[in-house]
Amino acid sequence: MGWILNNSSRILELTLDHLLLSAPAIVATFILALPLALVANAVRPLREVVISGTGLLYAIPSLPLFIVLPLILGTGVRDPLNVVAALTLFGLALMVRSAADALQSVPQEVRLSSTALGHSRLGRFFTVDLPLAGPGLLAGLRVVSVSTISLVSVSAVLGVRSLGSLFTDGFERNIVPSIVAGILCTAVLALVLDLLLVAAGRLLMPWAHRGGRA
């Protein structure tokens, strides 16, 4: 406990670094997954290709991806952009399937009647499809958020600063509290982000939690 208190400012800094790597990846995952899911649903033959293709990304181990990705991006291995891009790919592996399923769960009658009421295609997507698919999208995003936050740490062995640095430092200098603090902070960060997502869901979809779906 003493070690953690003595190093609280450093732990706080690393938590912030951790958040700055994971939050952009979670947001990017959400934004990119929607069009991919739409394409997968709209063009039948593509559905399996898009969904299993992104799903296959999940089979790729994280550390090797952090190392191979700079070849494509032209960044350095330690570049935050590289880490965010790799995390986004892992996020997509989980998110595209849940987004495609969520968007597909919107009943066809509802779509047809909203078109009959005069919604444009784009208008219908934002005012009808997206809100109705909301609970499913939120469930997918919560999984992505938790797994992204736990994946970030691995990049610490490459020298990228995050809560994972508490593991590498703790291991190299034989400080157990450092590693324990890293695990606890990762869990707390994941929990806080999860609660924020749930709260955002309640705010944006006040009708959803009454049915006990989210």
Partner 1 sequence: MNHLLDALELLGDAESWQGSGGFGARAVEHLWYTAVAVAASALIALPLGLYVGHTGKGRYPAVLGSGVVRALPTLGVITLAALFVGIGLTAPMIAFIVLAVPSIIAGAYSGVESVSQVTVDAARAQGMTPWQVLFKVEIPLGLPLILGGLRLATLQVVATGTLAAYVGAGGLGRQLFLGLRTQDYPLMLAASVLVILLAIALDAVFSLSQRAARLRTGP
The residue ranges that bind partner 1 (CB under 8 A) are 56, 58-65, 67-68, 71, 77, 143, 146-147, 149-154, 156-158, 163-164, 166-168, 170-171, 174, 176, 179-180, 182-183, 186-187, 190
**Which positions ≥6 away from 23 have C-beta within 8 Å?**
193
The shares of helix, strand and coil residues in the chain, as percent rounded to the nearest 5, are 85, 0, 15
Q: Which is nearer to partner 1, 134 or 170 (CB)?
A: 170
Q: Supply 185's token pair.
A: 């902070």
d(CA 54, CA 77): 23
| Amino acid in position 95 | M
Least separation in angstroms between CB 131 and partner 1: 27
Q: Which of 138, 151, 121 is nearest to 207 (CA)?
A: 138
Q: Which is nearer to partner 1, 128 or 146 (CB)?
A: 146
Least separation in angstroms between CB 29 and partner 1: 15
| Amino acid in position 94 | L
Least separation in angstroms between CB 146 and partner 1: 5
Least separation in angstroms between CB 42 and partner 1: 26
| Amino acid in position 37 | A
Least separation in angstroms between CB 172 and partner 1: 9
Q: Which is nearer to partner 1, 130 or 180 (CB)?
A: 180
Q: Which is nearer to partner 1, 31 or 187 (CB)?
A: 187
CA torsion, points 180, 182, 186, 192, in degrees to nearest 10? 90
d(CA 82, CA 67): 9
Q: Which is nearer to partner 1, 65 or 141 (CB)?
A: 65
**Which positions ≥6 away from 130 have C-beta within 8 Å?**
137
Q: Supply 93's token pair.
A: 């592996």
Q: Which is nearer to partner 1, 12 or 43 (CB)?
A: 12
Least separation in angstroms between CB 140 and partner 1: 13
